[in-house]
Amino acid sequence: MAIKSMHNKNFCNLNAKNTLKEFLKEELLLSNKAIKTSYISKNALQSSLKEKGELYLPHDLLNRSLVNPIYHGPEIEVIEENDIFIVVNKPHGIHGHPMDYSETNTVLNFMRKRFNLSSLGKKGGDYEKGLLYRLDQLTSGVLIYIKDELIHQNLRDSFGQIAKEKTYLAIVNGKVEEELKLEDRLISSGVKGEKMIISEAGSEACLKLRPLYYHESKDLSLVEVSLYEGHRHQIRVQLSNAGFPIVGDPIYNDNYQSGDKRLYLHAYQYCLEVNGHLSCFKAKTADLFCDLLDLNSLVDVAS
């Protein structure tokens, strides 16, 4: 039997298996979850394979967990590269990692194309290969990639200990007049936990809020957020709950306008302590922030 991709003509001869599902599990080492989400019908999965027959499979399934070396997306600033890290300033509106091989507009696509990283071309593992943490698609800023797979796993496992500072900038509605410490409990809600809500049954969430600049005519504040835990949507839901929703937030800002050009949340600085050495990485530019506040530079007010 020959196996082919639906998108190219490369194939290899294989021995027939009893059913397609058995072949996918035993020869391609796909999990039940991968097979279930492959959009192959149940009837096709239970069909018998023929010796010397041809089998066409989705390109994404054959390349599952690989990162496409093609990148189609906005320019990405490389903040720093050393023996351990590659640090970039992620643009707003793109994901950090792809969900399938067909995606070509994520940070990891950029990484594989720009740095020719062999680990992103290997099968196995998850789609977040090398990324130390997640940033929401709508959030911009510092995103850290770890070159070595073993170091990556060790640092991810100990992220709570090595992350000494996680500082974000946000533009919010209203005037923030003083430093605030927000302490809440968060729990996921809605379809597939797509929204976070404040609930006593949730996990502890704490952050500090410091005002940096106020635009009086627009009634907008630029604030610095010191993040502690890093739960999903933590900054967005906590600022909204405190009465200072982030401009451009389609979920947590009741005054969201469809014409808002972005979610104004930016990972400004991350500091990590690895092997006794403190490294701080700063994304000094955030697209559209200065335009909205009529500023010349974010650095001038955030320093």
Q: What is the pLDDT of residues 237-262, one digit of tens each?
A: 999 999 999 999 999 999 999 889 99
Residues contacting residue 31 through CB under 8 Å, at least 6 positions apart: 25
Q: Which pLDDT value is given to residue 21?
A: 86
Range from 137-151, 190-204, 249-263, 273-287 carrying the lowest mean pLDDT = 190-204
CATH code of domain 160-303: 3.30.2350.10
Kindly state the average pLDDT of the residues 5-23.
Answer: 59
Kindly state the average pLDDT of the residues 263-272.
Answer: 98
Q: Which pLDDT value is given to residue 85?
A: 93
Q: Per the residue annotation, which of 60, 100, 136, 184 is the catalytic one?
A: 136
Q: Which pLDDT value is given to residue 290?
A: 96
Q: Which pLDDT value is given to residue 16?
A: 55
Model confidence pLDDT, tens digit, residues 81-97: 998 999 999 999 999 99
Kindly state the average pLDDT of the residues 175-186.
Answer: 97
Whether residue 188 has pLDDT greater than 80: yes
Q: Are 106 and 95 in contact (CB under 8 A)?
A: yes
Yes or no: is domain 65-157 CATH 3.30.2350.10?
A: yes
Burial class of residue 260 (count of CB atoms within 10 Å of its CB; 0-12, 13-18, 19+): middle
Indicate the pLDDT class of residue 13, thresholds 50, 70 and 90.
very low
Whether residue 15 has pLDDT greater than 60: no
Instruction: Tell me the average pLDDT of the chain.
Output: 89
- What are the φ/ψ torsions at residue 279 (nearest 5 degrees)? -120, 130
136 given a catalytic annotation: yes
User: What pTM value is reported for the model?
Assistant: 0.87
